[in-house]
Structure 1
Amino acid sequence: MIRHVLLPATCALLLSACTQAPLRGTGDLGLVVERASASVQIIDSSAGKALARIDGLGDLSHASAVFSRDQRYAYVFGRDGGLTKVDLLQQRIDKRLIQGGNSIGGAISQDGKLIAVSNYVPGGVKVFDAHSLELVADIPATLLADGTKRSRVVGLVDAPGQRFVFSLFDSGEIWSADFSHGNTPQITRFTGIGQQPYDAFITADGRYYMAGLFGEDGMAQLDLWHPEHGVKRVLGDYGRGQAKLPVYKMPHLEGWAVADNQAFVPAVGRHQVLVMDARTWQQTDAIAVAGQPVFVSARPDGRQLWVNFAYPDNDRVQVIDTETHNVIADLKPGPAVLHMEFTARGDQLWLSVRDANQVQVWDPYSLKRLATLPATAPSGIFFSSRAQQMGY
């Protein structure tokens, strides 16, 4: 008879393993920003519940997040200049620093090794090592005429070829910072692109960078396949200048949706979602909706759009069929719907209802609410699946 004898070290290892939490993946995890309490919740989309609340993240009034390529860490960009690395598995802050005075978002590089943050104060972009959060590069924006301030930076995205692309609000520029040859970036500047670019997005394939203009109508488009062609103007009637109504909240251009070779755009100051041919960038339709749209989010299969609105219609969400352009549902989740996020395969839509202090989970096929979770003044919802998408 063979006897198995456990050595003391082996016994200790087994006992230790029994007391630890079981291993799990992070592909179904995400964050909900609680903007009024400097906290985030870690959420589990498979179970439809919150797992933990993490405090101490500073001013989250305009916070956003990106994820490491292994989807374990979230990087949260706070309005106070805070950059916070959150460990989704350990459910704690891994590292945190104040890198500026007024931050407006960030991005993670194509290889996942760099984190870039765009700043109003001081104007420019700072780039950090994603593991250590040590400063890698400081890219100051254009100095303004008074000689004391630099242009505010907006619309920062990651792009193919280990690049970051961003817009300069005060000086009317688009810059590309190429890190493909090391941590000293090659900067390409495009000037005179239009007045006051206020936000931007990049198409899912990483080819077109589009900046909305606050100071005039139209959008500035940079073809990253052919940057030598410069920046051109598209959608000449889109923008702030010709708005017929007061603009209660500027739409987020990251809320654009592209489906079936069509781009669906929240109109500025109008009760419309504009439709463009995503190959020619010419407008083809305008869909009447209930209010001034903020986000236009496409279900991952491209068949549906979910649209939320600025005040006073921000208690509503409308659903649009992308084939017929008809509004097929008019929902009222509650007061102040701020953000919407689909799970990666589109089986759920999560939305934040700030003034009801809740997050809701919806089935976008049956249009039924699946769950309601308590949250303190929730705003942005971000799933870790964003790690595998360009421009998030």
Structure 2
Amino acid sequence: MNFRNLISAAALGSLFLGSSFNVYAGAKPVTLTEPELQEAESLFKAQCSSCHGTQRLGGMGPALLPDNLSRLRKTQASDVIANGRAATQMPAFGSILNKDQQSLLANYIYTQPKLSPQWSDENIKASQIINHQPSDLPAKPKFEADLMNLFLVVELGDHHVTLLNGDTFEPIHRFKSRFALHGGPKYSPDGRFVYFASRDGWITKYDIYNLTVVAEVRAGVNTRNLAVSSDGKSVMVANYLPNNLVLLDSETLDLIKVYPVENAEGKSSRVSAVYNAPPRNTFIAALKDLKEVWEIPYPSSDKSKSKEERAPKVRPIAVNDYLDDFFFDPDYKLLIGASRDSAGGQVVDLDLGKVTSSIPLPGMPHLGSGITWDYQGKQVLATPNLKEGKVSVIDMKTWKVIKDIKTEGPGFFMRSHEQSPYAWVDVFFGPNKEAVHVIDKNTLEIVKTLRPAPGKTAAHVEFNKDGSKLLLSIWDMDGEVIVYDANTLEEEKRLPMVKPSGKYNVWNKTQYERGTSH
């Protein structure tokens, strides 16, 4: 069954509720004259709406509203419009728009919308779509394959997902997704169900065995990502708009609780991301506009209690800087985070509830894509850099940088596998986007640079279950997923796909394989 492309009439009708938009404190709003407003709306529709939504509520790109721009000054906004933004897919409009038009657009995104968006508990409940009760669906899959060695490939170009056999690398099924999936799908512990989040807030539960959508709900207006608990019973959703975390029952995505994200003084914040912390039986969320990390235990499974009684309380942890990006050690005792505007990282001991170390990391480390391995008797963390052409390798005892490995440009994704001697990193940004480096984990040297599709972006590696094969994406509308032998580094197969982005192996994601994203 295809995913629905429109929210329900009841939910749509209640998205705009007048001028009472006080979800959080953001940037100071700007007022434009009516002629300026009309011209700005026309420019925005022509140049920006395809990514940011016609109502500025977000799509492929984030929402552009004054309440959502608290950390972006107008002067910075003008610069981003003219020159694009490093480490994002925001293009430069300096050659398309003149200075006055750039300034007008920068002012426009700081105006309050005519109709202010809201998304309440009632809106969430009204949006829920239940296609099947999971207990009514057969527990036997409709196809033959190693169920723990399946891949899901997200094809951003035409908003589809391909289910791929991880042994034969043959497609099993291709289905339509919601618009602009974001944050990576997350599996139930047994790998049967997968949960998707779209930029515009839709959460979808899909039954891989029966190749069908179980349930959907719109948890927010602009969503970052979701996490699934290790017991498979709950889902936590991180939102940019409104500023909250939304806790759902995994069965049919019933709402358990909405957590408004604000500190003790009432200042509110977007959520950078939320992740499951398996050994802790908690969800961990980093906040975009507050210098805090939140830890929230899984809800009680006792359904004789009310939903409010089942929902646990938040444990806030103060940190030294905003966390736009973060990573966990394999034991989930330590959180390593960084801010987009910072010159380094910080280490948060989750047991102690405080920052214990700092890491000198200039540029913009992409810790969310960091991986760990053992090197010369010590555990190391390696992270690409979104601004500089290097991979930093860090001793996780001393938090000293052991080596900066020079690359052909800033990278976005880094991946490996416990059984592989190599780590792979792309060169996502800049003129060398076609290149992918293979790093020997024992020598910390680049042993091979691949250019599988000259002129096209090559990015995002994912290994199969035993680490013997891997998939690499060519991020293009006329794209491909390329299969490599993980040991010989030889190409074995190409599968045509429409701008394939992430590939997600069931075993790696459910077992939290060291070397992949979690």
TM-score interval for Structure 1 and Structure 2 normalised by the shorter chain: 0.7 to 0.9
State the alpha-carbon separation in 1 of the partners of residues 209 and 163 from structure 2: 9
Taking structure 1 as the reference length, the TM-score comes to 0.85
Counterpart of 1:12 in structure 2 is: none
Counterpart of 2:409 in structure 1 is: 291
Counterpart of 2:210 in structure 1 is: 90
Contact in 2 for aligned 1:118/1:154 (Cα 8 Å): yes
SS of match in other structure, 1:346: coil
Q: Does 1:215 align with 2:334?
A: no
State the alpha-carbon separation in 1 of the partners of residues 179 and 318 from structure 2: 34
Structure 1 residue 281: Cα displacement: 1.8
Structure 1 residue 21: Cα displacement: 4.6
Q: Deviations over 1:96-121 (max 9, x none)?
A: 22111111111111212111111101
Distance verdict in 2 for CA 1:181–1:128, change over 3 Å? closer
Q: Deviations over 1:363-386 (max 9, x none)?
A: 111111111111111111111111
SS of match in other structure, 2:179: coil
Distance verdict in 2 for CA 1:369–1:135, change over 3 Å? same
Q: 1:193 aligns with which of 300, 317, 320?
A: 320
SS of match in other structure, 1:100: coil
State the alpha-carbon separation in 2 of the partners of residues 377 and 220 from structure 1: 35
Contact in 1 for aligned 2:384/2:414 (Cα 8 Å): yes
Counterpart of 1:232 in structure 2 is: 356
State the alpha-carbon separation in 2 of the partners of residues 36 and 172 from structure 1: 36
State the alpha-carbon separation in 2 of the partners of residues 21 and 215 from structure 1: 49
Q: Deviations over 1:261-301 (max 9, x none)?
A: 11112134211111111222221111111111212212322
Q: 2:160 aligns with which of 39, 46, 51?
A: 39
Counterpart of 2:248 in structure 1 is: 128
Q: Does 1:171 align with 2:297?
A: no
- More strand, by proportion: 1
SS of match in other structure, 1:221: strand
Structure 1 residue 304: Cα displacement: 1.1
Letter of the 2:311 partner, please give it: T
SS of match in other structure, 2:148: coil
Q: 2:176 aligns with which of 51, 55, 62?
A: 55
Letter of the 1:255 partner, please give it: S
Percentage identity across paired residues of the two chains:
27
Taking structure 2 as the reference length, the TM-score comes to 0.65
Structure 1 residue 208: Cα displacement: 1.2
Counterpart of 2:330 in structure 1 is: 204
Structure 1 runs (4+) greater than 6 angstroms displaced? none
Structure 2: gaps (5+ residues): 1-137, 302-309
Counterpart of 2:369 in structure 1 is: 255
Contact in 1 for aligned 2:459/2:472 (Cα 8 Å): yes
- More helix, by proportion: 2
Contact in 1 for aligned 2:234/2:299 (Cα 8 Å): no
Contact in 1 for aligned 2:280/2:332 (Cα 8 Å): no
Contact in 1 for aligned 2:238/2:274 (Cα 8 Å): yes
Q: Does 1:275 align with 2:393?
A: yes
Contact in 2 for aligned 1:221/1:234 (Cα 8 Å): yes
Distance verdict in 2 for CA 1:23–1:295, change over 3 Å? closer
Q: Does 1:362 align with 2:484?
A: yes
State the alpha-carbon separation in 2 of the partners of residues 337 and 286 from structure 1: 22
Q: Does 1:158 align with 2:276?
A: yes
Letter of the 2:484 partner, please give it: W
Counterpart of 1:11 in structure 2 is: none
State the alpha-carbon separation in 1 of the partners of residues 159 and 216 from structure 2: 13
Distance verdict in 2 for CA 1:68–1:341, change over 3 Å? same
Structure 1 residue 80: Cα displacement: 1.1
State the alpha-carbon separation in 2 of the partners of residues 83 and 251 from structure 1: 29
State the alpha-carbon separation in 2 of the partners of residues 348 and 119 from structure 1: 35
Contact in 1 for aligned 2:414/2:460 (Cα 8 Å): no
Q: 1:346 aligns with which of 459, 467, 477?
A: 467
Contact in 1 for aligned 2:348/2:357 (Cα 8 Å): no
Structure 1 residue 256: Cα displacement: 0.8
Aligned-pair Cα RMSD in Å: 2.3
Counterpart of 1:247 in structure 2 is: none
Contact in 1 for aligned 2:426/2:435 (Cα 8 Å): yes
Distance verdict in 2 for CA 1:339–1:39, change over 3 Å? same
Q: Deviations over 1:208-247 (max 9, x none)?
A: 11221112222232222332xx123421x314xxx3xxxx
Letter of the 1:168 partner, please give it: L
Q: Does 1:322 align with 2:322?
A: no
State the alpha-carbon separation in 2 of the partners of residues 185 and 217 from structure 1: 35
Contact in 2 for aligned 1:337/1:351 (Cα 8 Å): yes
- Number of aligned positions between the proteins: 358
Q: 1:373 aligns with which of 477, 495, 499?
A: 495
Structure 1 residue 43: Cα displacement: 1.0
State the alpha-carbon separation in 1 of the partners of residues 444 and 497 from structure 2: 34
Q: Deviations over 1:339-378 (max 9, x none)?
A: 2111122111111111141111111111111111111111
SS of match in other structure, 1:170: coil
